[in-house]
Amino acid sequence: MPRTTEAKVKEIIDTTLSVEEVKPFLVAANKLVTARLTGAYDDGLLIEIEKHLTAHFISTRDPQVKSETIGDAAVTYHVTSVVGEGLASSPHGQLVQLFDNKGLLSKIKGEIDIEALG
């Protein structure tokens, strides 16, 4: 059972995704946090990690605007699809790294099959 809600995640990320569309990202984040971090941190910190990890996952589908220019209309997005960047590829992922000061999520790079989270 997720530690946070889709609505709470939507409070921290500007996304066009509906609450229902956020749900699979929250489920994946919950499974990963539960499997890798339960017992390592207190419940309050696990809630924050799960919320920001969900936002990080969302940013892979719904990229976040980094900067906008009105004259000649240019938009720059936070890059979230760089292979090998992992959590460092988004602002929310960077917060997850900060909260997970033991580096437990960073250690799983390349060892998890994301389909197994489904």
pLDDT in tens, 37-55: 999 999 999 999 999 999 9
Residue 118, pLDDT score: 45
pLDDT of res. 9: 96
Q: How far apart are CA 13 and CA 62, in angstroms?
A: 10
Residues 90-95, mean pLDDT to the nearest whole number: 89
For residue 113, pLDDT beyond 80 = no
- What pLDDT band is residue 116 in, cutting at 50, 70 and 90? very low
Average pLDDT of the chain is 82
Residue 51 structure tokens: 């919320």
Q: What would the two tokens of residue 68 be?
A: 């906008």
